[in-house]
Amino acid sequence: MKKAVVVYSLISLFVLQAYSQGEKRNDNWTVVGNVQYVTQHYWRGLGKGPLFGEAPAFEPSIMFLNKNWNMGLFAAGSFDGVYKAVIPWISFSPVKNLWIGVWDIYSPGKKLWTSDAKPFDFGLTTSNHFVDAVVSYQLPWFPLSLKWTTLVAGKDPNAEGKRNFTTYAELSYSHRWNDFSVWGGVGVTPWKGLYHREKGGVNNLELKLQYNFRLYEPITMPLFTKIAYNPLSEQFHFLVGANLIIPYTFK
């Protein structure tokens, strides 16, 4: 119960602080197709291992967004077949810079196309779903972003058989010089759970360098490298990747 109170209190704080920053934004819808290749899937301090395999991954996605909505579908699979996932998401922005959303991380791995995949099972101990509630906010005067995510449904039991509410909080900074950009983040899991079974703490120190090659306006092909360290598991991660991004805006 204490964990749930902490989660809801922080979400309320994000919302209250951001409502004072609202302004008019563009109503047009944009569709973005993205095809990504990475030498290793990496997520919130977790990389090479039993969850994501030890091979490169192919990760296509499609996104629909306008001033208030961001929704889409992300799919991924590692070439060794260990990691397979389908992730729909939807998020809403009540005011500029604030986003509140839900990601359904459906990750049955090798069982994806078998009868054991259980796509409609959201049980605490039996599900292959990890339903993530996400609140993010970017400061309007500085490129600093805050993100709080908590697993609110699907598989996430603690030692007592109750919901653990596994949580990840991240503070990140980004900067761009024309087509070159840098992104850095510090991630924390406040208590033990999915990201570390024994304790909480800083679980992600991440740096991403990216260069956007412009193929044909507005199509781009970003190339990036990512260096990360998980202090809880004492593991370094290094990967490189490439995207092909095709946006289309319509009224």
Domain boundary assignment for the chain = 2-18+28-250
Each residue's pLDDT tens digit, 85-108: 999 999 999 999 999 999 999 999
Supply the pLDDT for residue 26: 60
Q: What is the CATH number of domain 2-18+28-250?
A: 2.40.160.40
Supply the pLDDT for residue 25: 53
Please give the Cα distance from 163 to 170 (Å, whole number).
22
Beta-bridge mates of residue 198 = none
Please give the Cα distance from 169 to 186 (Å, whole number).
8
Q: Is 10 helix (H, G, I), strand (E, B) or coil?
A: helix
Please give the Cα distance from 195 to 174 (Å, whole number).
24
Supply the pLDDT for residue 27: 79
DSSP state of 67: S
Its pTM stands at 0.88
**Residue 178, Cβ neighbours under 10 Å: how many?**
7
What sign does the dihedral 178-42-247-35 (CA atoms) show? Answer: positive
Contact between 26 and 249 (Cβ < 8 Å): no
